[in-house]
């Protein structure tokens, strides 16, 4: 059995079959860049990152696109408040997005299109809808005729009479149908505008993603991802705009990430209960935050609180301690030595199999992490043995490489990635230097200095472990 995805379009878990064998096209709705992004936003971006990583782990060639909405009411209002242009404001927060997402180990997309760079494509789509009678113009505003698309509501499963509920629309008597949504907004004072056949103005929100997805991925894509809050009306409207023109399925699989909650309520800027990623990083490491965000299945709500973050911090320390203890054995992996009927070798194979099964079942990161920590526990028990034969060392080297491999899929061990903030790498490099200094002291039989280094490290919570293969270090358990 291969990869299975819960598809919001069918409301069931479907077997994943890509349009083109061995390749995946994936679009994720990115940030509206009028402010820094918060931990709730980060969950959506991070889940898309994990999906992409796992698809690549399975051997797919993935083209991943995540947009920037850089023209929007919120952007215009904030820019006017600050006395700067909308483009200046959006540029500032695009830079901030890359800075904060990099610290969380979120890899950049293959393409990060900006809405304002795709105005011609949007105008072209709107013109085609006007020509087909799907859209109409009123005083320079362009609206989409919802009744022209018979499948409208198929993603959100909303009946016709319920479609107004929750929609981001203002009741406008100029509309033929109050459900119709805007494709283009006529020019207004103190707003950016672009010229078009029906007068100056700017695009509506929904047409932006349709234009960018089609431009960079084609008329039909494999996976469209985003937050649960975007399912209606944004994603519903993307489908209506795209499919009415192409006659093709816009996206075959829709993945929606559940809300992050704080104090039992959804985290969001409208609720005024959010925590910016850059502020959270002042209190917790990037690996701890990332571990927390993938600790639950993406379709399950997740509560942001001190206990959960503390648990993730302890878990990350346990993982890193285990990996640091067996890192030196990695040099034996691939040596060709027969490791025989090794318990560690069997456990490694089982971990890789069970990790894959968990991720194949709708990207179940919670179960997948459980398999990782099961392996960590076994490795720690194995290392408690008094003496390891060479075959055991080889098996531990293979275990180390396999653990790194699966941890990198989840992004919870990012030391080897250039996209991280470098804190872990710096600590390891400094500890290697301290251990070298202590080893030199021991060679000179300067036991006073050697003990002083060990004792002072102990005072700051670092334990040195002298083994036949060298000295390892770990954070002491709390």
Kindly report whether the peptide bond that precedes residue 233 is cis, defined as omega within 30 degrees of 0.
yes
User: Do the Cβ atoms of 308 and 283 come closer than 8 Å?
Assistant: no
- pLDDT single digits (tens) 243-293: 999 999 999 999 999 999 988 888 877 777 789 999 999 999 999 999 999
- pLDDT single digits (tens) 374-407: 999 999 998 887 677 777 888 899 999 999 999 9
Question: Which whole number is the average pLDDT over 204-219?
Answer: 97
Give the separation between CA 478 and CA 287, rounded to whole angstroms: 18
Give the separation between CA 211 and CA 217, rounded to whole angstroms: 10
- pLDDT single digits (tens) 321-343: 999 989 888 877 665 555 555 78
CB 388: neighbour CB atoms within 10 A? 18
Give the separation between CA 200 and CA 196, rounded to whole angstroms: 6
Report the mean per-residue pLDDT for the chain.
89
What structural domains does the chain harbor?
21-283 (3.40.50.620), 317-421 (1.10.730.10), 422-478 (no CATH)
Q: In sequence order, what DSSP letters do the residues of 18-75 get, joined into one string? A: -SSTTEEEEEE---BSSS--BHHHHHHHHHHHHHHHHHHHTT-EEEEEE-BB--SHHH
H/E stretch holding 397: helix 390-410
Confidence of residue 422 (pLDDT cuts 50, 70, 90): very low
Give the separation between CA 64 and CA 223, rounded to whole angstroms: 9
Q: In the beta sheet, which residues pair with residue 473? A: 464
Tokens representing 10 are: 């069918």
Q: What share of the chain is helix, strand, coil (3-state, %, to 5)?
A: 50, 15, 35
Give the separation between CA 72 and CA 82, rounded to whole angstroms: 16
Q: In the beta sheet, which residues pair with residue 12? A: 7
Distance of CA 232 to the CA centre of its chain: 21
Phi and psi at residue 350, to the nearest 5°: -65, -40
Query: CA separation (Å) from 170 to 165, 173, 181, 300?
Result: 12, 10, 9, 31
Residue 341: the pLDDT is: 59
Confidence of residue 453 (pLDDT cuts 50, 70, 90): confident
Confidence of residue 238 (pLDDT cuts 50, 70, 90): very high
pLDDT at 168 over 50: no
Percent of the chain with pLDDT over 70: 90
pTM of the shown model: 0.85
Residue 86: the pLDDT is: 96
Residue 105: the pLDDT is: 93
Residue 427: the pLDDT is: 67
Question: Which whole number is the average pLDDT over 101-120?
Answer: 96
């Amino acid at each position: 059995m291969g990869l299975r995805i819960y598809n919001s379009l069918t409301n069931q878990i479907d077997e994943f079959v890509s349009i083109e064998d061995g390749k995946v096209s994936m679009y994720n709705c990115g940030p509206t860049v009028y402010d820094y992004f918060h931990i709730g936003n980060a969950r959506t971006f991070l889940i898309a990152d994990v999906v992409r990583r796992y698809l690549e782990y399975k051997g797919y060639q993935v083209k991943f696109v995540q947009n920037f909405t850089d023209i929007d009411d919120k952007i215009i209002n904030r820019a006017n408040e600050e006395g700067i242009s909308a483009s200046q404001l959006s540029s500032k927060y695009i830079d901030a997005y890359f800075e904060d997402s990099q610290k969380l180990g979120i890899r950049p997309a293959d393409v990060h299109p900006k809405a304002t760079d795709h105005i011609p494509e949007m105008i072209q789509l709107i013109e085609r809808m006007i020509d087909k009678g799907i859209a109409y113009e009123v005083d320079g505003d362009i609206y989409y005729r919802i009744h022209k698309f018979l499948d409208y509501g198929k993603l959100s499963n909303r009946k016709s009479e319920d479609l107004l509920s929750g929609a981001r629309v203002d009741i406008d008597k100029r509309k033929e149908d109050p459900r119709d949504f805007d494709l283009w907004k006529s020019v207004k004072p103190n707003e950016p505008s672009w010229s078009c056949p029906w007068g100056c103005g700017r695009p509506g929100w929904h047409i932006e993603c349709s234009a960018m997805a089609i431009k960079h991925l084609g008329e039909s894509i494999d996976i469209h991802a985003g937050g649960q809050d975007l399912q209606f009306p944004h994603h519903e409207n993307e489908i209506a705009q795209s499919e009415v023109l192409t006659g093709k399925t816009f996206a075959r699989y829709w993945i929606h990430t559940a809300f992050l909650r704080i104090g039992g309520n959804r985290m969001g800027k409208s609720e005024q209960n959010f925590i910016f990623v850059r502020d959270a990083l002042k209190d917790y490491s990037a690996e701890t935050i990332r571990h927390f965000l993938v600790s639950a299945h993406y379709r399950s709500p997740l509560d942001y609180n001190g206990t959960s973050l503390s648990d993730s911090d302890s878990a990350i320390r346990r993982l890193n301690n285990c990996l640091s203890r067996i890192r030196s054995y990695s040099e034996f992996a691939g040596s060709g030595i027969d490791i025989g009927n090794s318990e560690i070798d069997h456990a490694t194979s089982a971990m890789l199999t069970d990790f894959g099964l968990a991720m194949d079942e709708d990207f179940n990161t919670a179960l997948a992490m459980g398999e990782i920590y099961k392996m960590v526990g076994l490795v720690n028990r194995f290392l408690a043995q008094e003496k390891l034969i060479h075959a055991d060392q080889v098996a531990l080297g293979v275990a180390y490489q396999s653990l790194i491999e699966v941890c990198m899929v989840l992004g919870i061990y990012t030391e080897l990635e250039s996209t991280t903030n470098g804190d872990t790498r710096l600590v390891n490099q400094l500890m290697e230097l301290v251990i070298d200094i202590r080893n030199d002291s021991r060679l000179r039989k300067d036991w006073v200095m050697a003990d002083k280094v060990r004792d002072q490290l102990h005072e700051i919570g670092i334990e040195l472990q002298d083994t036949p293969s060298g000295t390892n270090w770990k954070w002491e358990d709390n």
